[in-house]
C-alpha cells in the first residue's frame, strides 16, 4: 500500500513538472484574460503601430512603364528622343553631309535661303539677285568650279573690284569699323536688310562680294557644301568684336580656311584645306594633314554655329 502511494505521488510530481515545463516553453497555450478597457485598447493599438513601423520595408525592383502605369499606355508611350549635341568640326561635317543634296530648312527662315537653293546645286541659275547684292557666276576652267563676277555699274564703280579675299578685306577696311560692318552683312544674310544706300561704293561692292562668295560660291556643290554656315558664325564673331575680317578671311592663314590660297602665301589651297578640315573625301593630290589646318578658333566658331535644322534655328 505504501509503495503504491509513493509511486502515485512521484507520478503526480513529474506530471506537474512537465506541465510547468510545457507552459514555460510555449508549446502549450495558456489561458490569458484580455483587458478590454478603453485605455488598454488604445495602448495596444499604439504598440501595434510601433511594431509595424519597425518592420523592414520591402523595396520594389525597377518597374517597366506598363507595370507602373498599366498596359493601356504601353502602345501610346514614346520616350523622348535624346538630342545629340555635337561640337566643333563634327558639327561642320554633319552640315556638309546634310547639304550634299538639299539645303536644311531652319526653324527661323533666313532671308538668303531661297536664293541659295537656286544657286548652290549647279549652273542652271547663274544670276544672283539678292536685293542690292547682285552678281553672276560661270563654270570655270578648273574642274568646272564656279567663278564669281559683278557688274561695277550695279555699285556705282567704273571698274570691277577684284574678287580675291585679300583685296575684299582691303575694300572692307575702308568702313573703319569691322564689328559694325559685320553686323550689317550678317543682317543682310539673315534678315534681308539691304546694305545702306549711303554706304561707300567700294565698301558696298566688297560687302556684296563677301556675301556672294561665302553664301553662294563656296558652298556650291562642286566646292564645300555647308561651309556657308561656318561663314555666318565667323561674321557673328566679328560683329561681337572678338575677331576681325583680316583674321578670318585672309588668304594665308585665314580661319575661314576655304579662303586660303597658295598665291596668298598659304601652304595649301582653300579647297584642299576645306576638304581636310571638314572630312570630305580627299583628292589624290591632297597632302594636307588635319593638324596643319585645325585651329581652336575654328573649332570654337563651328561649335557656336547652329545646325540649320529642325533642332536649331540659324
Q: Which of 77-91, 143-157, 201-215 has the highest mean pLDDT?
A: 201-215
Answer for the pair 228, 214: CB distance below 8 angstroms, yes or no. Answer: yes
Q: Which of 19-23, 107-111, 134-138, 278-282 has the highest mean pLDDT?
A: 134-138
How far apart, in Å, are the Cα atoms of 246 and each of 12, 41, 170, 202?
Answer: 119, 92, 9, 17
Per-residue pLDDT of 131-144, as tens digits, reads: 999 999 999 887 78
Residue 35 in any domain: the answer is: no
Total count of domains within the chain? 1
Closest to 247 in 3D by CA, of 297, 188, 305, 299: 297
Measured CA to CA, the distance from residue 292 to residue 268 in angstroms comes to 10
Host domain of residue 219: 109-304
Residue 44 in any domain: the answer is: no
Burial of 114 (0-12, 13-18, 19+ CB in 10 A): exposed
Least confident of 117-121, 157-161, 235-239: 117-121
Answer for the pair 263, 244: CB distance below 8 angstroms, yes or no. Answer: no
Q: Three-class SS of residue 181?
A: helix
Residue 23 in any domain: the answer is: no
Those residues with Cβ within 8 angstroms of residue 22's Cβ, 6 or more apart along the chain or in another chain: 28
Measured CA to CA, the distance from residue 259 to residue 163 in angstroms comes to 11
The rounded mean pLDDT for the chain is 80
Q: Which helix (H) or strand (E) holds 294?
A: none
Per-residue pLDDT of 153-193, as tens digits, reads: 999 999 999 999 999 999 999 999 999 999 999 999 999 99
Q: In 103-239, which ranges are E strands?
A: 127-130, 133-139, 146-149
Residue 47 in any domain: the answer is: no
Residue 257 in any domain: the answer is: yes
Residue 43 in any domain: the answer is: no
How far apart, in Å, are the Cα atoms of 1 and each of 4, 11, 14, 196, 227?
Answer: 5, 16, 20, 142, 126
Q: How confident is the model at residue 197 (pLDDT cuts 50, 70, 90)?
A: very high
Answer for the pair 313, 267: CB distance below 8 angstroms, yes or no. Answer: no
Measured CA to CA, the distance from residue 164 to residue 130 in angstroms comes to 21
Per-residue pLDDT of 41-59, as tens digits, reads: 666 766 665 555 555 545 4
> Is the model more confident about 99 or about 149?
149
Helices marked H in 143-218 — which ranges? 165-173, 178-191, 201-212
Residue 198 in any domain: the answer is: yes
Residue 182 in any domain: the answer is: yes
- The pTM of this model reads 0.69
Answer for the pair 206, 171: CB distance below 8 angstroms, yes or no. Answer: yes
Q: Three-class SS of residue 118?
A: helix
Amino acid at each position: 500500500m505504501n509503495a503504491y502511494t509513493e509511486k502515485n505521488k512521484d507520478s503526480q510530481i513529474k506530471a506537474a513538472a512537465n506541465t510547468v515545463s510545457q507552459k514555460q516553453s510555449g508549446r502549450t497555450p495558456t489561458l490569458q484574460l484580455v483587458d478590454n478597457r478603453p485605455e488598454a485598447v488604445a495602448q495596444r493599438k499604439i504598440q501595434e503601430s510601433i511594431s509595424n513601423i519597425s518592420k523592414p520595408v520591402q523595396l520594389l525592383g525597377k518597374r517597366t512603364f506598363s507595370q507602373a502605369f498599366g498596359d493601356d499606355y504601353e502602345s501610346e508611350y514614346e520616350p523622348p528622343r535624346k538630342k545629340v549635341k555635337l561640337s566643333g568640326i563634327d558639327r561642320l561635317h554633319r552640315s556638309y553631309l546634310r547639304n550634299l543634296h538639299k539645303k536644311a530648312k531652319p526653324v527661323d527662315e533666313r532671308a538668303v535661303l531661297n536664293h541659295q537653293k537656286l544657286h548652290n546645286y549647279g549652273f542652271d541659275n547663274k544670276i544672283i539677285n539678292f536685293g542690292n547684292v547682285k552678281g553672276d557666276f560661270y563654270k570655270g576652267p578648273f574642274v568646272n568650279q564656279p567663278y564669281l563676277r559683278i557688274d561695277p555699274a550695279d555699285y556705282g564703280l567704273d571698274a570691277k573690284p577684284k574678287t580675291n579675299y585679300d583685296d575684299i578685306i582691303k575694300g572692307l577696311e575702308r568702313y573703319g569699323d569691322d564689328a559694325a560692318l559685320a553686323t550689317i552683312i550678317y543682317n543682310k544674310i539673315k534678315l534681308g536688310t539691304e546694305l545702306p544706300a549711303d554706304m561707300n561704293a567700294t565698301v558696298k561692292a566688297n560687302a556684296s562680294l563677301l556675301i556672294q562668295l561665302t553664301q553662294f560660291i563656296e558652298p556650291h556643290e562642286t566646292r564645300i557644301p555647308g561651309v556657308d554656315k561656318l561663314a555666318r558664325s565667323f561674321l557673328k564673331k566679328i560683329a561681337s568684336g572678338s575677331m576681325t575680317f583680316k583674321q578670318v578671311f585672309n588668304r594665308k592663314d585665314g580661319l575661314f580656311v576655304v579662303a586660303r590660297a597658295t598665291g596668298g602665301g598659304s601652304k595649301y589651297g582653300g579647297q584642299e584645306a576645306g576638304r581636310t578640315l571638314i572630312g570630305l573625301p580627299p583628292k589624290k593630290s591632297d597632302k594636307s594633314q588635319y593638324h596643319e589646318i585645325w585651329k581652336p578658333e575654328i573649332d570654337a566658331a563651328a561649335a557656336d554655329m547652329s545646325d540649320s535644322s529642325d533642332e536649331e534655328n540659324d
